[in-house]
Every structure is written in structure tokens, then in C-alpha cells.
Chain A
Amino acid sequence: MNSSIELVIGFVALGVLAVTLIGVRTGRAASRSLEGWMVNDRQMGPFLTWFLLGTEIYTAFTFLGLAGFAFANGGAAYYNVATNDVGYALGFFILPAIGLIGRKFKHVTQSDFIAGRYNSPTLGILVAFCSAIIMIAYIDVNIEGLGAILNVLTEHRLNVLDAEIVGFFVLSFAVFFGGIRGNAWQSVIKDVLMFVSIAALFLIIPFKFFGGFGPMLGQMMTKIPANITLPGPHHKLGLMWLASTILLTGFGQWMWPQWFNVAYSARGSKTLKLQAVFMPFYQLVKVAVITIGFAAVLIFAGQKVVGNEVVMLLAQQVFPLWFLALFALAAVLSAIVPAGPIIMMSCTLLSHNVYAKLVPSSEPKTIFAISRGLVFVVTFLALLLAVVAHTLIALVLLAAYNFIAQLVPGILIGGLFWRRATRDGVIAGLVIGWALTVYFLLNGISAIDGMNSGFVALVANTIVFFLVSLITKPVRAEILDEFLAAAHGPRKQAASAGAAASPLPAE
């Protein structure tokens, strides 16, 4: 390893240490109870909420995986620009409703929500356990990203597995001590660094390799037209795939339990609604990343390059050493910081919604201790998954979405809008949806008649959910009335009195 690489790695190590300490310091005071650790006592304002939401967008996937997906699959990568925007629009009403219900019933997880809505602790346990397992795949995305970063940085000489273990022990300690508020402050640092890094790469590449933006875009149009449109260079991912994937991932976005957590940790509805207005601006960074992926097709023409590594390879080519160090730090933080809320949520689901329900005599203190202790177990499981299933980051994320989006009928449709939805309907739909998703995954079926296979599973799930709900016993009206009325908050006006099934979240 030459001295310049050692300098970069040393800088990255120091930077990660500093950010970890900041997370621990800022989050320690708020992390003395499960509610404080998980949802910051529901006191997070617009500024931190913006960055906490941003953390979920600016992951290793955005930094490395999206460019890799654009590089390998062409125009299909645009799905990811749309995913979050559709999610934000849905979230404008959904998140405040979930937040208000959570505030009234002291929910701290998605499983609390579903158990409350269907008056079924069993369903809560089932959803909690399955979600926690699915979330490990999302943590794996970040571990894979970390591996790719260090692999390129050390010119394939550093043991990637060792680097991943070290990185995630650092993360584990930060999450263990810092909780969600600590993670939000880490996100502020990470997002600023990432924005600067991506902007620098986006601005430098056209001038260094093509003589400007115009010539670069011109070359894309003439030399690689198949790579910048649909169905892409492999002629597999067409317009139907794009539309079905946007619907699947846009709706599925709020099914990730950590997104529920954002609804719970925000100070009020206004905070959440403002995110729906301003968060779409974040998506422009994704367009920049996709541009880098397209440009890489021209730059690396004829070379054998792994998709996950194109961003780091380009950074190595265009940046001076000092900026490469900063860039590498941003990339490493993009893998480490976003995994925080996901790990915390996965642990809390297992302790609060599985263990505590199975052992009702558990003390809150014990549950909180188990949640924090599980941080290390869950991270280790994600590490194992990364070792046994190496693939394109984007494909791991898409597979994870196929599973988590199966919660849409139970949580979104039945949870907030359709009073007739039943516990049995949710379970039957989930069994069908998840069984089909596993079948498609094991048989390598990513599209059916051009549509995303996860979307097909979701349609089947939704049909079963409706049919079974209609023939099974619904939740008692008085329980349901109280639950749905909570979504209205303190507004007592006559106008909303007759809209029990429609969440109208208030300030």
C-alpha cells in the first residue's frame, strides 16, 4: 500500500471517529429511554427531520449503487428519482396521520401501529419479526457499499471483510450510545459532505473527459442512445417495468419501519408536511448521480468495470489527494450513517414487538437493554448476508423493496382508509405476497409481462387481502373509531366529524 492510500485511509478513519463521537455526544441525553432513543421523545423539528429523511435517500445506494445501476442498466435507473417523490406526496397525509395515532397510543414502531389497528398482538409480532428480517437486507446494502469503497480505495489490496467489520463496529457503538437524535446530527455532516462530493464529481467529469456538459450530453445521445433510455442496453427493463417499479417502491417506501419512525420522532404534522414540499429538491442529486453513471459508460468503454465501483474509480481519476480523502469520507459515511436508523428499528422490532409480547412480564428497562444489545447481533447478520450474497447494490435494494412493499394493503389501505380490512385479510395477503416474492427471487424472475415481479406479487396480495377481509370478522367499531379518530388530532370542527375513515391530520 503506498503512502497516499494510507493518508486517505487515515483521514477517513479519523473522520469516522469524529462523526461517531459527535453522534454519541449529541444523542446521549435523549437516549435514556426507549422513546427517547427511538423517537427523540417526539420532539424533532423540521431541520433535523429533513436530514433524517435525507439520510434514507443519501445512502451508499445513492452514492455508489445508483450510478452503478445506471452504468449497467441504462434509463431504468430513473425509477429511483420517482420513487421518493411519489413517496413524499403520499407521505403528506400518511405520515402526519401515523404520527398523531402514534402520539395518542404511545406507538414507537410500525408493529405497534398494525397491532393497534387490527387489535391483534399476534399480527404485530408477525409483522415485526418479518420486517426486522427484511431490514437486514437494507443494512446489507450499506455494508456492500462500504466494501466497494474500501476495495477501490486500497486498489483491491485491503481485506474488505476486515474493513466492513471495523466500520460496522464503529456504527454499532454510535447507534448503541447515540440513538436517533445522535444519528440525525451525524446525518447533517454526512449529507453536507455528500452533497459537496457529488456536486464536485458531477461538475468536473464533463469538463475533464468531454470538454463540457453540452459535448458530454451530445456524446450520450449519439454514442450510447440505448444506455440513456428504456428498455436499456439489455432490452429488459422497459416502460412497464419503470411504471410498476415506481408504484411498488413509491408506495413501499413508507412500509419501511424506519420511515414510520420519522413520523413518530417529528414534532408535529407541519414538520412532516413541509418535508413533502421540499424533499423533492433532494432528487436532483440523484439525477446528478445517474448522469455520472451514464458518463462512466463512455469513459470506461471497452473496459471491464464493476457497477458498484464506477463512482470511486472516477473519483480516483479526477480528484487531488486531499479531496479524494474528503470524498472517500463522504462515501464511507454514506454507508455507515444511514444504517443507523435501520439497525435501531430492526432491534426495537425484535425486542419491543417480539420479545416483550412473548414475555409480557418484561420490564421496560430490560426491553430497552435488549434493543441496544441487539444492535451488534443485527449488524453481524447483515455482515453475513453481505459476505454470502455479493451482487449489484441496486438489485439487493430492489429485492428488499419487493418484500417490504407487501405491507401496503395491511398498513396503508387497511390501516388508514378501509375500515372493513381484517387481521385475517392482512395475514392471507402477506402469505401470498411474500410466497410469490420468494418464488420469483429463487427462480430469478425479475419481470412478468414487462412488469416488476414484486408489483405482480403486490397485486395478488391486495386481491387476497380484499377478498379475505370481506368474509372475515372485522375489528369492533368502538376500537376502530377511537384508533382512526386519533388521526384527526385536536381538531374538533364539525367538518371532520363525519369522516372517521379518512385521516385528516392536524397541527
Chain B
Amino acid sequence: MRMSMIAWICGTLLIIALYTLGPIVFNAAAPAILGMPPLYFWFLLVPLLNPLIMGVVYLIDAREIELDDEVTK
């Protein structure tokens, strides 16, 4: 299996885990985290983390395409 495929599967599973397992820990109205209810904080944080996760996947994929192109040439 190619590295980019592995990265994509890992990235996707991580995002699913953040959204489905994270609330188990953060499902409470208090105490506040950075002034926010814990569950609210979590669902504000994860959409900010996702572009980073998918950004890494994108860079791995782009690097692999670059290497493929070099091989093809």
C-alpha cells in the first residue's frame, strides 16, 4: 500500500475518532476550558485541527506525486 493511502486512512480515522470518542471525555457543561463549556470547546477545537491533519496528508500525497513524476521522466 502506498504511503499516501496509509496517511489518508490514518488521517480519516483520526478525525472520526476525534469527533466520536472526544465527546466521551468532554461531554460536560463545566468546568470551563478557556472560558467555554467543555463540549463546546471540543467542537470548536477539532475543526481547527482538521486542516492541519489533512494538510499533512496532502503534503505526503503531493510529495509522492512529485516522486512519481520524476520516475516517469
B50-71 interface code vs A (CB 8 A; 1 in, 0 out):
1101110110010001001001
The reply to whether B8 and A92 form a contact with Cβ atoms under 8 Å apart is yes
The reply to whether A82 and B19 form a contact with Cβ atoms under 8 Å apart is yes
The reply to whether B12 and A491 form a contact with Cβ atoms under 8 Å apart is no
Q: Is A229's beta carbon under 8 Å from chain B?
A: yes
Which of the 9-residue segments A238-246, A255-263, A361-369 touches chain B? A238-246
The reply to whether B27 and A250 form a contact with Cβ atoms under 8 Å apart is no
**Nearest Cβ distance between residue A236 and chain B, in whole angstroms?**
15
A258-278 interface code vs B (CB 8 A; 1 in, 0 out):
000000000000000110111
- In Å, the complex CA distance between A221 and B30 comes to 6
A496-507 interface code vs B (CB 8 A; 1 in, 0 out):
100100101011
Please name the residue on chain A nearest to B36 by beta carbon.
Answer: A217
> A491 and B68 in contact (CB under 8 A), knowing A92-B54, A274-B58, A502-B5?
yes
The reply to whether A239 and B54 form a contact with Cβ atoms under 8 Å apart is no
Q: Which residues of A contact B68 (CB under 8 A)?
A: 491, 493, 495, 506
B8-30 interface code vs A (CB 8 A; 1 in, 0 out):
10011001100111011001111
> A277 and B51 in contact (CB under 8 A), knowing A217-B37, A229-B37?
yes
Please name the residue on chain A nearest to B44 by beta carbon.
Answer: A287
Q: Is A93's beta carbon under 8 Å from chain B?
A: yes
The reply to whether B23 and A85 form a contact with Cβ atoms under 8 Å apart is no
**Nearest Cβ distance between residue B28 and chain A, in whole angstroms?**
6
Q: Is A66's beta carbon under 8 Å from chain B?
A: no
Q: Is A211's beta carbon under 8 Å from chain B?
A: no
Q: Is A280's beta carbon under 8 Å from chain B?
A: yes
Interface size class on chain A is: 35 or more
The reply to whether B58 and A242 form a contact with Cβ atoms under 8 Å apart is no
**Nearest Cβ distance between residue B14 and chain A, in whole angstroms?**
9
The reply to whether A504 and B39 form a contact with Cβ atoms under 8 Å apart is no
Q: Is A88's beta carbon under 8 Å from chain B?
A: yes
The reply to whether B54 and A250 form a contact with Cβ atoms under 8 Å apart is no
- In Å, the complex CA distance between A148 and B23 comes to 32
The reply to whether A496 and B2 form a contact with Cβ atoms under 8 Å apart is yes
Q: Which residues of A contact B12 (CB under 8 A)?
A: 86, 89-90, 92
Q: Which residues of A contact B21 (CB under 8 A)?
A: 243
Q: Which residues of A contact B27 (CB under 8 A)?
A: 75, 229-230, 239
Q: Which residues of A contact B50 (CB under 8 A)?
A: 85, 88-89, 280, 283
Q: Which residues of B contact A283 (CB under 8 A)?
A: 47, 50
Query: 7 A–B contact pairs at CB < 8 A?
Result: A81-B43, A85-B19, A92-B54, A220-B37, A239-B24, A246-B16, A276-B54
Binding site for B on A (CB under 8 A): 75, 78, 81-82, 85-86, 88-90, 92-93, 213-214, 217-218, 220-222, 225-226, 228-230, 239, 242-243, 246-247, 250, 273-274, 276-278, 280-281, 283-284, 287, 290-291, 491-496, 499, 502, 504, 506-507
Question: Which 10 A-B residue pairings sit nearest by Cβ, starting from the closest?
Answer: A225-B29, A82-B19, A280-B50, A283-B47, A243-B20, A89-B12, A277-B54, A493-B68, A89-B15, A78-B43
